Structure 1
Amino acid sequence: MILWRGAILSQPLRFACRKVRYFHTSVMAASHQTMVNGTLLNFEVVGNGEKVVLCLPGALGTTQSDFGPQLKGLCPDKFKIVAWDPPGYGKSRPPPRNYTTDFLHRDAVLAASLMKNLGHEKYSLLGWSDGGITALILAAGFPQHVEKMVVWGGNAYIHEGDLKMYEAVRDIDKWSARMRAPLEAAYGREYFKTAWEGWVDTFLAIYNEKGGDICKGDLHKITCPTLIIHGAKDPMVGIEHAQYLKENIKDSMLTVMEEGKHNLHLRYAKEFNEMVTDFLLKEGSKLASL
């Protein structure tokens, strides 16, 4: 069963998205660096609101590349937004990213420790792609701290059909110049190439060594209300992954953006921010009360 604003749906809610012009606010994010469990972490904070939200970016993602429209667009009077660069990404360097088959579990522990060090006992999560996986693991491992969660573009497992996607994107020389440019600018070509190939090879290892299980066993431990968003045109993550999350997270709902791709929160920032704001500010612990 899928719930959305009090309606019981037999299928995920779908809606069309229009391309919008995004207007920046005057609110500026303050950037900081700190050591957490011996790891250098860069993070940004914006807003003074009562609701604390941690933003978790995707592969090679940073605070600004992955959450710029949210840092600028979510109401600073309602939210206090914390966004981090995962270890080895963005300004959370050196050292370089250390990929192992449990690297997202390590990220979840580090992110929870960061929030504890910042004095945030209760917070919600926004997780995109790899950051969505990190959010799932964090919510499962630290349920006492997570109030609500929004995830999109993430997956709890890898199936055989996913392997073609990983293999297709591994060689950055086959990418268009437009796709390579921002990551080469952020990291330099050599680091970008090494880190990206390491990321792909790690997910292939998860499939070969762990049967594709990323965090399936964590899902039943999640107790917070969870909004799962999926872009119907996402070329990276199929809808079956979003549906699996919906079926295995007990207090969750799924909505599908008809025109959304993997970066739906960037391309359709206005609609996304409105949806997230509505979800995070609703009172009550159960989605059935929405």
Structure 2
Amino acid sequence: MSTSITSAKIKVNGVHLHYQQTGQGDHAVLLLPGMLGSSQSDFGPQLKSMNKQLFTIVAWDPRGYGHSIPPVRDFPPDFFERDARDAVDLMQALKFKKFSLLGWSDGGITALIAAAKHPALIYKLVVWGANAVVTQEDLKLYNAIRDVSKWSEKVRKPMEEMYGHEYFAKTCEAWVDGISQFADKADGNICQHLLPHIKCPTFIIHGGKDPLVPQLHAEYLHKHIKESRLFLMPEGKHNLHLRFAEEFNKVVENFLRQT
């Protein structure tokens, strides 16, 4: 039983959110996926291989993603805050009093907001491929992925299998518009104003070859989150936790285990 991965849905904030759960450790951990991501697409190696005696691992599909459809995914100005609220309320609905957050990309932004707004609930925080601001350079990178027909087949195929081509294509375009709206704010602010409010031990991981999130974002987080740690994986790209899963799991588990 201990190594099995269960899938279920639970109603949170008016939406039936899908999640996967495994392990029976005392330390609860929530995995937060990236743009258009889900527990299934984004965290296979973590659900399979993280220590199930030490950790209880939950991976969720944010509303409009994965199996948390309906509703259709949309991107109002507060979509990251909405995801953060859903994520925290999901864990509370599952009766976890305190938990750590592991957030990738958009999920990392969501995790930063959740940790800042709910310091009493968050034990530790790990983020990678995340950013607190949107620069003009970032806009160019986002617009380069707007048209999903230009994605590599390897990356595109599992998304099309999950969503169908039309939903995938439309949602990706909507995401680019959604994330781009932050560039109109002062300093391109997504959550930079919240970083000083993060009180939990924080581990920032960055891939030296990440084509989507320049390293300056990881350095910015490290500078503005008190006593945070920054770990660089020189060969890592945006999906370093999948490509280098063994090393990633090891350094993250070590961080989570430290008292």
Larger relative contact order (CA 8 Å, sep ≥ 6): 1
User: Could you list the runs of 5+ residues in structure 2 that have no partner in the other structure?
Assistant: none
Structure 1 counterpart of 2:75, from 89, 92, 99: 99
5+ residue gaps, structure 1: 1-25, 284-290
Coordinate RMSD, CA, aligned: 1.1
Is the 8 Å Cα contact of residues 49 and 79 (structure 1) preserved in structure 2?
yes
Candidates 168, 171, 174, aligned match of 1:198:
174
Q: TM (normalized to structure 2)? A: 0.97
The separation in 2 between residues aligned to 1:269 and 1:62, in whole angstroms, is 17
1:204-257 deviation line (CA, Å, top 9, x unaligned): 122125552110111010000000000000000011000000000002010100
Counterpart in the other structure of 1:10: none
Provide the secondary structure at the position in 1 that maps to 2:203: strand
Letter in 2 for 1:174: K
- Give the match for residue 36 of structure 1: 12
Report the CA distance between 1:178 and its aligned residue. 2.5
Moved over 3 A (4+): none
Structure 1 residues 35 and 207: CA distance shift in structure 2, 3 A: same
C-alpha displacement of 1:203: 1.2
Return the alpha-carbon distance in structure 2 between the equivalents of residues 258 and 211 of structure 1: 28
Structure 2 distance, partners of 1:282, 1:174, is 43
How far residue 120 of structure 1 moved from its aligned partner, in angstroms, is: 0.8
Q: How does 1:195-274 map to 2 (within 5 A)?
A: 195-209=171-185, 211-274=187-250
Deviation per CA, 1:142-189, whole angstroms, max 9, x where unpaired?
000001011000000011111110111101122232321111011000
Structure 1 residue 28, shift from structure 2 partner? 2.2
Residues of 2 paired with 1:273 and 1:185: CA distance? Answer: 27
Q: Matched residues in 1 for 2:4 and 2:137: separation?
A: 42
1:176 and 2:147 matched: no
Q: In the aligned structure 2, how far is the partner of 1:157 from the partner of 1:53?
A: 26
- Picking from 61, 68, 87, the partner of 2:37 is 61
Q: Secondary structure at the match of 1:214?
A: coil
Superposition TM-score, scaled by structure 1 size: 0.87
Pairing partner for 1:126 from 102, 122, 138: 102
Give the greater-gyration-radius structure (CA): 1
Q: In structure 1, what is the equivalent of residue 84 of structure 2?
A: 108
SS in 1 for 2:119: coil
Kindly provide the amino acid, as one letter, of the partner of residue 186 in structure 1. M
Aligned counterparts of 2:151 and 2:241: Cα–Cα separation in 1: 22
CA distance in structure 2 between the aligned counterparts of 1:55 and 1:210, rounded to whole angstroms: 30
Instruction: Tell me if structure 2 keeps the 8 A contact 1:158–1:213.
Output: yes
Question: CA-to-partner distance for each residue in 1:238-289, whole Å, 9 max, x for gaps?
Answer: 1100000000000201010010000000010010111011000111xxxxxx
Distance 1:130 1:107 in 2: 10
Alpha-carbon contact 1:148-1:280 (below 8 Å) kept: yes
C-alpha contact (below 8 Å) 1:224/1:251 kept by paired residues: no
| Contact kept in structure 2, 1:53 and 1:125, CA below 8 Å | yes
**Counterpart check, 1:186 vs 2:162:** yes
Cα-to-partner distance string for 1:58-82 (whole Å, 9 max, x where unaligned): 0010102111100001011110001
Report the AA paired with residue 100 of structure 2: S
Deviation of 1:95 after TM superposition, in Å, equals 1.2
Name the CA distance, whole Å, in 1 between partners of 2:227 and 2:42.
26
Count of residue pairs the alignment pairs up: 258
The letter of the residue matching 2:212 is M
CA distance in 2, matches of 1:132, 1:66: 13
